[in-house]
A = this chain, B = another copy of it.
Amino acid sequence: MAENKPPQGRIMALELAPGPLDQAMQAYFAKCEEKLGFVPNVLHAYSFDLAKLKAFVAMADDLMLAPSGLSKLEREMIAVVVSCANHCHYCLVAHGAAVRRLSADPVLAETLVANYRAAKFDRRTRTMLDFCWKLTETPWLIEEDDRQALRTAGFSERDIWDIAAVAGFFAMSNRISSATAKEPNREYYSMHR
């Protein structure tokens, strides 16, 4: 097992020493370094326990990168909008940067961080984000009418699943970040401006 160099400084309020990574995760961390220039702190945070790290990576990558009727940008936009409703510092900074990277549009990213309703979206995007906001704030009020609005805006059954799954994932991720006071990597703040 290779060494897992801890990042400089505390990355979250909890003191959980990183454990050894297996080859797959070593390769994964190396790829992050290569592509992003750093390993996201969310991965460092999970690295105290290899099984939890691998489960998180498997789910996150499937949701955000696997083939879907939603573009990668749409999925990152959902991440930012859910994180806005939850005032999640880590996710707004990290996924705000991802929106800038995928859209090459810093104005879009900062508008989503502030209030997605201020952006001039087409019906598809707006309906998707309205659904995510409602699902975030009052999941018990989501009903067939809400799903029907997505269908009318052009989304398939599978797309609706993906919208719900991405919004749900950030409901989780926001809470783990807030509960552990996870710090965003400093690089995120200035990337893709």
**B-contacting residues of A (Cβ < 8 Å)?**
13-16, 48, 51-52, 54-56, 58-59, 62, 66, 84, 86-90, 92-93, 96, 106-107, 110-111, 113-115, 117-118, 131, 135-136, 139-144, 147, 157-158, 160-161, 163-165, 167-169, 171-176, 178-181, 186, 189-190, 193
Chain B hits for A117, CB < 8 A: 140-141, 143
Chain B hits for A84, CB < 8 A: 87
Chain B hits for A139, CB < 8 A: 86-88, 174-175, 178-179
Instruction: Considering the complex, give the chain B residue whose CB is closest to the CB of A89.
Output: B118
Main secondary structure of the interface of A (DSSP, over half): helix
Contact sample, A vs B, 16 pairs, CB 8 Å cutoff:
A16-B158, A16-B161, A55-B55, A55-B58, A87-B139, A92-B114, A110-B189, A115-B140, A135-B175, A135-B178, A139-B178, A143-B181, A164-B175, A164-B176, A167-B175, A190-B193
Instruction: Considering the complex, give the chain B residue whose CB is closest to the CB of A164.
Output: B179
